[in-house]
């Protein structure tokens, strides 16, 4: 469960995020969100040049049926399991910096599969620490990683993804250890 203070994204007196269909029960929202984002994930993604605006467009595409704020950076401070994500007032700067680094690295092109996995893990760990959206960061990160890997000739086999160990590796990467995350990405590539 996320921790957010004075959260205008939620219905008053609840932890349920305000949503387009107006669902007020978390389980109902979870089911609707899963169905809507799965359907959108099967559609062509927005075109773009792996930039910040492209990343935001991917989130918008996936969550457009669920949240009115889809594709827009969050405006509240957010933490999970006691770890604070990037403060909202720094999201724009940190996203520009991260994607400038990605451009400087030529979008991670020209790397071996192992080199790609290592660099992608570092990118993904930083992106996760920024956590630009109120909800949907993980799905957007994975979608973007799949797109990025396709573009540089290291397509991911997402059928190999083991969600729980991958999530554990993402949590470890928040503390700076990207070893397990890189190993998971390598398995998806190789």
Helix (H, G, I), strand (E, B) or coil at 78: strand
Correct CATH for 2-189 of 3.30.590.10, 1.10.3290.10, 3.40.1410.10, 2.60.40.10: 1.10.3290.10
70-92 tens-digit pLDDT: 999 999 999 988 889 999 999 99
Nearest one of 178, 42, 51, 61 to 122, comparing CA atoms: 178
Q: Which residues pair with 2 in a beta bridge?
A: 80
Instruction: List CB contacts of 22: < 8 A, sequence separation 6 or more.
Output: none
pTM for the complete prediction? 0.94
Alpha-carbon gap, residue 40 to 62, rounded angstroms: 5
Q: What is the rounded CA–CA span in Å between residue 63 and residue 41? A: 10
Mean per-residue pLDDT for 41-67? 97
pLDDT at 189 over 60: yes
Exposure class string for 10-47: b at 16+ Cβ within 10 A, else e: beeeeebbbbeeebeeeeebeebbeebbeebeeeebbe
Candidates 127, 119, 111, 113; CA nearest to 187 is 113
């Amino acid at each position: 469960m996320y921790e957010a203070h004075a959260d205008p994204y939620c219905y008053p007196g609840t932890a349920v995020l305000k949503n387009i269909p107006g669902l007020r029960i978390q389980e109902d929202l979870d089911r609707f969100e899963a169905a809507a984002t799965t359907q959108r994930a099967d559609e062509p993604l927005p075109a773009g040049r792996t930039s910040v605006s492209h990343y935001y467009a991917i989130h918008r595409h996936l969550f457009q049926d669920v949240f009115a704020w889809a594709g827009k950076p969050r405006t509240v401070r957010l933490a999970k399991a006691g770890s604070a994500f990037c403060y909202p007032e720094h999201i724009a700067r940190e996203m520009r910096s991260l994607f400038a680094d990605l451009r400087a690295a030529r979008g991670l092109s020209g790397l071996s599969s192992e080199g790609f996995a290592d660099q992608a893990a570092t990118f993904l760990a930083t992106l996760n620490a920024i956590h630009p959206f109120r909800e949907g960061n993980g799905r957007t990160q994975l979608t973007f990683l799949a797109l990025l890997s396709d573009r540089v000739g290291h397509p991911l086999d997402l059928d190999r993804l083991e969600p729980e160990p991958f999530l554990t590796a993402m949590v470890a990467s928040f503390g700076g250890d990207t070893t397990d995350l890189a190993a998971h990405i390598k398995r998806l590539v190789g």
